[in-house]
Amino acid sequence: MFSRLTAVAVAVVAVLSAPATRAQAFINVLTGGTSGVYYPLGVAIGKIYSDQIPNVRTQVQATKASVENLNMLQQGRGEIAFALGDALKAAWEGDEDAGFKSKLKRLRTIGAIYPNYIQIVATSDSGIRTLADLRGKSLSVGAPKSGTELNTRAILAAAGLSYKDLGKVEYLPFAESIDLMKNRQLDATLQSAGLGVASLKDLSTSVDITLVSVPKEVVDRVGPPFVAETIPANTYSGQDKDVPTAAIINYLVTSSAVSDDLAYKMTRLIFESLPELANAHAAGKEIKLATAAAGGPVPLHPGAIRYYREKGLIK
CA atoms within 13 A on the CB side of 285: 6
- List of the chain residues with pLDDT < 70: 1-23
Q: Check whether residue 104 and residue 131 sit in a common domain.
A: no
CA distance 82 to 79: 11
| Confidence (pLDDT) at 294 | 85
Indicate the residue among 213, 233, 248 that finishes a domain.
Answer: 248
232 and 135 share a domain? yes
Does residue 190 sit in the same domain as residue 94?
Answer: no
| Residue 10 included in any domain | no
Predicted pLDDT at 35? 84
User: What secondary structure does DSSP assign to 54-73, as a single string?
Assistant: TTEEEEEE--S-HHHHHHHH
Q: Same domain, yes or no, for 216 and 139?
A: yes
Q: What is the DSSP letter of 115?
A: E
Q: CB–CB of 195/215 below 8 Å?
A: no
pLDDT of residue 11: 43
Across the chain, where does the E strand assignment appear?
A: 25-30, 56-61, 80-84, 107-123, 138-140, 168-170, 188-193, 209-212, 227-231, 243-255
Kind plus residue range of the DSSP H or E element containing 306: helix 302-310
pTM: 0.79
> Which pLDDT does position 144 carry in this prediction?
84
Q: What is the tens place of the pLDDT at every residue in 148-184? A: 999 999 999 999 999 999 999 999 989 999 999 999 9
Q: Pick from 196, 227, 248: which residue ends a domain?
A: 248
Query: pLDDT at position 23, please?
Result: 60
Which domain does 162 fall in, by range? Answer: 116-248
Is the separation of the CB atoms in 82 and 226 below 8 Å?
no
Domain final residue, candidates 248, 278, 298: 248
Whether residues 34 and 101 fall in one domain: yes
DSSP secondary structure letters along 255-295: ETTS-HHHHHHHHHHHHT-HHHHHHH-GGGGG--GGGTTS-
**244 shares a domain with 127:** yes
Q: Are residues 216 and 131 in the same domain?
A: yes
Helix then strand then coil, % of the chain, to nearest 5? 45, 20, 35
Number of domains comprising the chain: 2
Cβ pair 159, 132 in contact under 8 A: yes
Residues 243 and 143 in one domain: yes
C-alpha–C-alpha distance, residues 310 and 315, integer Å: 9
Task: Give the DSSP per-residue string, 42-53.
Answer: HHHHHHHHHHHS
Residue 227, SS3? strand
Asked if residue 232 lies in contact with residue 194, where contact means CB atoms within 8 angstroms, the answer is no
Q: For residue 273, what pLDDT is reported?
A: 98
